[in-house]
Amino acid sequence: MRLLVISGRSGSGKTSALHLLEDEGFTCIDNLPVKLLPALIEQIGDAPHASKHKFAIGIDARNLNSDLSQIESLIKDNLPANAECMVVYLDTSREVLLKRFSETRRKHPLSDQNTGLNEAIAKEKVILEPVAAAADITVDTSHMSLHELRSTIKRLVVGEESKGMAIMFKSFGFKYGVPVDADFIFDVRCLPNPYWSPELRSQSGLEAGVIEFLNSQQEVDDMFDDICSFVQKWAPSFQANNRSYLTVAIGCTGGMHRSVYLAERLAAELKKGYANVQTRHRQLEQKPGA
């Protein structure tokens, strides 16, 4: 039996994630009261061919706060030994949530005549803290389109065949904000910047000119060696602790050159020891035409 718990702040894409999972053959139940989880798990486990069942449960802030505080123990204490469970938490920055609710004119589920949108968003974050703390995977959807969200969920959850831990190297630009879903963040803004070479400015860290420039810098090699050694040293400990996903974020100023180059180089090296190593380049994905 495979059980996915999908949660997150209103407006972060939880419903879209459940629709994708339904398309992929999961039986989806949205807004399940947390106290009903044990009964649902028992019913699924007793069904014929239970080992083949795939369920996705949506849980949000409409649950009672006291119920959400019990989510980790309710899953752990009731899950059969041969079952797999993963908690996926979708997060989005407050500024993006305000914009999304303003553009869609949707009503936040916790807002009313006495509670404005700002207050409802802040209240929801506090209510969902126990779920966020129990999450196996946290996905920051602040800068994702609907297509990117569906693609990410499919890659991380549906298409994950490896039993080992997945490692994601994510490049980003500090000027656009720090990813909230990163387990480790490395700042590489101290390295020589190809941006200051006019012929390299329009290229990215995936292109030959930038790669050649950065390959020639001893400081870049030193930074690569240090980050690579750190990840290689500690990744086994995370995997031994039953972590299914590890996100390593590499940031430079604009997220186009140094961080992209290092994320790709690190991923290539870690692939020698791990079957499921991925890269994502946040700023390249947002670049027009990318």
Q: Hey, what CATH class is 2-158 in? A: alpha beta
Q: pLDDT per residue over 240-262, tens digit each?
A: 775 778 999 999 999 999 999 99
Q: pTM of the predicted model, to two decimals?
A: 0.59
CATH 3.40.50.300 in the chain, residues? 2-158
Which residues carry a binding-site annotation?
A: 8-15, 60-63
Q: What's residue 66's pLDDT? A: 57
Q: What is the mean pLDDT of the chain?
A: 87
Report yes or no: 58 and 3 within 8 Å, Cβ to Cβ. no
* Binding site members for GTP: 60-63
Structure tokens at 191: 């390295």
Could you tell me the end-to-end alpha-carbon distance of the chain, in angstroms, rounded to an integer?
A: 39
- Given a cut of 60, whether residue 124 has pLDDT beyond it is yes
For 19-28, what is each residue's pLDDT tens digit?
888 888 889 9
* Annotated binding residues for ATP: 8-15
